[in-house]
C-alpha cells in the first residue's frame, strides 16, 4: 500500500507544480510518477483500480491541507473508498 501512496504523492505534487508553471520540479516528479506505476505488486487492471481509490483519498487530503472544507458527504465517500481499497488489497 505504501507504493500506492508514494505514487499518489508523486502525481499530485507533479501536477501541483505543473499548474504553478514550475516545470523544473514538475517534469521529474511526473516522470517518477510514471515509473512508480511499474513498481506496483498487482496486475495492471487491479493496480489502476486500487491506485484510483488511493489517488482520490490523497487528493481529498491535499484539498483539506490547502484549506478546502470537507463536508460529511466528502468524508463518507473517502471512508467508502478506503474500505473498497482495503478489501481489494
Domain extents in the chain: 2-88
Spatial distance between the Cα atoms of 54 and 45, rounded to a whole number of angstroms: 15
Spatial distance between the Cα atoms of 53 and 66, rounded to a whole number of angstroms: 20
**DSSP annotation of 42:** S
pTM for this predicted structure: 0.67
- Per-residue pLDDT for the chain (89 aa), expressed as one digit of tens each? 788 888 889 988 999 999 999 999 999 999 999 898 888 777 877 887 888 888 888 888 888 888 999 999 999 998 998 898 888 87
Amino acid at each position: 500500500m505504501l507504493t500506492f501512496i508514494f505514487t499518489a504523492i508523486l502525481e499530485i505534487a507533479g501536477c501541483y507544480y505543473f499548474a504553478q508553471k514550475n516545470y523544473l520540479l514538475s517534469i521529474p516528479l511526473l516522470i517518477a510518477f510514471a515509473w512508480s506505476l511499474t513498481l506496483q505488486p498487482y496486475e495492471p487492471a487491479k493496480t489502476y483500480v486500487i491506485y484510483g481509490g488511493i489517488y482520490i483519498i490523497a487528493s481529498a487530503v491535499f484539498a483539506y491541507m490547502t484549506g478546502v472544507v470537507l463536508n460529511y458527504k466528502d468524508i463518507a465517500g473517502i471512508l467508502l473508498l478506503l474500505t473498497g481499497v482495503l478489501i481489494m488489497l
